[in-house]
Amino acid sequence: MSKHKNTGSRLVYSTAEGRLCPQCQRPVADCVCGVDRPAAVGDGVVRLHRETKGRGGKAVTVIKGIPLAGAELKALAKVLKQKCGVGGALKDHTIEIQGDQRHILKPELEKRGYTVKIAGG
């Protein structure tokens, strides 16, 4: 074992706190660096997916690629759910709307100025 401490090192992982943010060096749950910015802007195209995996055969419409964050994304999700007349959720910067609502959501999102593509079958 070396007698010298490496003073230029930084903590990458600790069992006490878990994973750390590479920018602010706080635990990921307490990270404040990306609170107001979206996770990824992507290519600027909003994609509508229909998924049934892990939901007992029931379909949901997943909306990915919306360049909004926080309260704005939550407000948009609420408006879209009301437009379709169904429930839904906001998970990991994606909006999930119950049922196959792609034909209703595409014109609504285009009206708001987004480029929309229906992805998948």
Q: Dihedrals φ, ψ of 37, to 5°?
A: -110, 150
> Which listed CATH number (3.30.43.10, 3.30.780.10, 1.20.900.10, 3.30.465.10) goes with 45-118?
3.30.780.10
Q: What is the pLDDT of residues 2-42, one digit of tens each?
A: 555 656 666 665 566 667 777 777 777 777 776 554 455 56
Q: What is the structure's pLDDT at 106? A: 92
Q: What share of the chain is helix, strand, coil (3-state, %, to 5)?
A: 25, 25, 50
- The ranges assigned to domains in the chain are 11-37, 45-118
Q: Give tens-digit pLDDT for 87-120.
A: 999 988 889 999 999 999 999 999 988 899 998 7
Residue 56 has pLDDT above 70, yes or no: yes
**Predicted local distance difference test score (pLDDT) of residue 103:** 92
* Cα distance between residue 106 and residue 96, in whole Å: 14
**Cα gap 103→118, rounded to integer Å:** 9
Cα-based distances in Å from 72 to 83, 90, 120: 17, 12, 26
pLDDT in tens, 69-82: 788 889 999 999 99
- Quick one: pLDDT at residue 13? 59
pTM of the predicted model, to two decimals? 0.64
Closest by Cα among 18, 17, 71, 20 to 9: 20
